[in-house]
Amino acid sequence: MFEHGPTGALRIDGVDLDAIAAECSTPLYVYSARAIRERIAELSAALRGLDALVCFAVKANPSRAVLALMAEAGLGADIVSAGELQRALRAGIPPQRIVFSGVGKTTDEIGMALHAGIWKFNVESADELAALQRAARSRGCVAHAAVRINPDVDAGTHEKISTGRSENKFGVAIGEARRWFAAAGALDHVRLDGLHVHIGSQVLAPGPLQLAFERVAAFWRELAGAGHAIDSIDLGGGLGVCYRPGHDRPLDAMAYAAIVRSALTDFGGRLVLEPGRWLVAGAGALLTRVIRIKEGESRQFLVVDAAMNDLLRPSLYGAWHEILAVDGSPRERVEYDVVGPVCESSDTFALARPLPRCVAGDLLAIADAGAYGSSMASTYNSRPLAAEVMVDDGRHAVVRLRQDFEGMVAGERLPAWEAVA
């Protein structure tokens, strides 16, 4: 995504990062429209010939500008809340291309999704299935549902983003799903016509995906043999990306599509894919300025103006993000602990990271921050949410204004007795 300008300084899509940071201040998210379109095109080419619906996992990046790119490309949305439903609809994604996942759908959220006319609910518990039946009956409609299978497959990823093992909260065992289909005739307002599986995020190896898809395919064949019509199989998302060059070796789109074709070669219905990270991670960068260098007894701390409230992944998962000096000039390399100003020891982006020698005011780019960056941000330590900018073919536009203090506290109220006093 990054390119070098005439002076060696970093650019994205022909736009100088220094210029964007000077205009919009830091910390600041920058997204490349071109990089997102290229990822979409790569996946579409790999899936050519399949009846496949790609539903972007909105949780990865819910920016309306990002979702609008998905809508323009004909993608759908994988949502996990009513808020994500509204974001997808406002960005122009038709309800007929929306699937609703998640273990905690409330009655109100189910009602909103039914009212909007979404395509399918990915159902994850017997209680949710009963709630969907009640909600659809009260509206006089029929809800289409896919049963999320927990295939008990270890994705080999971080334990906090693993979703396909039996001890995880997601999905139901195949035995339970079998009982649901056997009793499906009693559901007059829910049509169980799909299967769904998602084993985790940042999956780098093909084996777990192959095993999960084969288990779901075998269950589909069993259901078809028993007379149950299954018109869609949702294979979830989870494709990993390369955060650490030389270390992470993710599957490319063609290799992933080959696994899909191998496991489901005889399935004649629609395949649904829910990529999130894979489409947008590499398209985003978090710009941050050096506040100061703090000399410790044995380490040097590079204190920057971005913090864990802006990009949580390193603190939450110990995740690696490449960090680049924007000016690109040759300088002696120094090992720094790159830290933010939040009052937590976990507010750390990197430990003993070799970087060009820095001084206060230097601009850095934290790479591959387009997924689970701004979407997981908070106002911890009363730090306003960062602005977001999209660049496209030499142009740039602010797509989310930097939150100011008044905006941050706008919903706060004193209790009535304090206001009277």
Give the Å distances, CA to CA, from 49 to 97, 280, 338, 345: 19, 24, 47, 51
The percentage of the chain sitting over the pLDDT mark of 70, rounded to a whole number, equals 95
* pLDDT of 227: 95
Neighbouring-strand partners of residue 12: 2, 15
Local confidence band at 245 (pLDDT 50, 70, 90 cut-offs): very high
Sign for the CA dihedral angle at 23, 24, 25, 26 comes to negative
Class of domain 2-30+281-409: mainly beta
Sign for the CA dihedral angle at 46, 95, 193, 131 comes to positive
Of 24, 55, 141, 343, catalytic: 343
* pLDDT of 160: 45
Q: What is the 3-state secondary structure (H, E, C) of 54-87?
A: EEEEHHHCCCHHHHHHHHHCCCEEEECCHHHHHH
**Domain map (residue ranges) of the chain:** 2-30+281-409, 102-273
SS3 content of the chain, % helix, strand, coil (to 5): 35, 25, 40
117-167 pLDDT per residue, tens? 999 999 999 999 999 999 999 999 999 999 999 887 755 544 444 444 445
385 near 403, Cβ under 8 Å?
A: yes
Mean pLDDT (the chain, rounded):
94
Across the range 386-401, mean pLDDT stands at: 97
Let me know if 242 is a catalytic residue. no
pLDDT at 168 over 90: no
pLDDT at 56 over 90: yes
pLDDT at 211 over 60: yes
Local confidence band at 112 (pLDDT 50, 70, 90 cut-offs): very high
pTM here is: 0.94
251-291 pLDDT per residue, tens? 999 999 999 999 999 999 999 999 999 999 999 999 999 99
Pull the structure tokens for residue 218. Answer: 């075998």
Q: Which fold has domain 102-273?
A: TIM Barrel (3.20.20)
Sign for the CA dihedral angle at 346, 350, 352, 357 comes to negative
Local confidence band at 321 (pLDDT 50, 70, 90 cut-offs): very high
Across the range 329-340, mean pLDDT stands at: 96
Kindly give the interhelix angle for 82-90 and 107-116, rounded to the nearest 10 degrees. 20
d(CA 295, CA 301): 6
199 vs 195, residue with greater confidence: 195
Residue 162 DSSP SS3: strand
Q: What angle do CA 265, 146, 107 make, to 5 degrees?
A: 165
345-375 pLDDT per residue, tens? 999 999 999 999 999 999 999 999 999 999 9
Burial of residue 214, with CB atoms counted within 10 A of its CB: 0-12 exposed, 13-18 middle, 19 or more buried: middle
Q: What is the 3-state secondary structure (H, E, C) of 193-223?
A: EEEECCCECCECCHHHHHHHHHHHHHHHHHH
d(CA 167, CA 103): 14
d(CA 185, CA 228): 10
d(CA 241, CA 36): 13
Kindly give the interhelix angle for 206-225 and 174-182, rounded to the nearest 10 degrees. 20
pLDDT at 17 over 60: yes
Across the range 40-49, mean pLDDT stands at: 98
